[in-house]
Structures are given as structure tokens and as C-alpha cells.
Amino acid sequence: MERTVVRCAEGHVFTAASFPMQKAERLGPGRLIRCPRCARLRSVVPVVLEKH
Ligand SMILES: [Zn+2]
């Protein structure tokens, strides 16, 4: 299963399984996912990892 690195509205970075990219594009820039640091649903955005 592919995992996506995401960042919540509070700045916490974590990985989410099967981030619904297509729905995210349709609904807007963010997506509600449970943040393990906030312990609640947060609006998150996918983090683009820079290639070196
Ligand atoms: Zn968080």
C-alpha cells in the first residue's frame, strides 16, 4: 500500500495510507484525516518531498 506524507493544519507531519488525491483535488487543497499528534480530524495537505 502506498503511503503519503501529509501535514496537518497544526504543522504535524505524518504518513497516511491511501491519501485520496483525486477527491482532494475535487474538494479543495485540503483533506480531513485523523492526525496522530492532534488525536482528532485535521485538514491536511500532502507534503511534496524534494528530490536531491
Ligand atoms: Zn496535528
Q: Enter the pTM of the model.
A: 0.66
The domain locations on the chain are 3-46
- pLDDT, residue 29, reads 57
Q: Which of 29-45 are b and which e, b meaning 16 or more Cβ less than 10 Å from the residue's Cβ? A: eebebebeeeeeebebe
Contacts (Cβ under 8 Å, ≥6 apart) of 15: 3, 4, 5, 6
Neighbours of ion ligand 1 (CB under 5 A): 8, 10, 12, 35, 37-38
- Taking only the tens place, the pLDDT of each residue in 8-36 is 999 999 998 766 555 555 555 567 889 99
Alpha carbon of 26 to ligand 1 centroid (Å) = 23
Residue 15 CA to residue 4 CA, distance in Å, equals 5
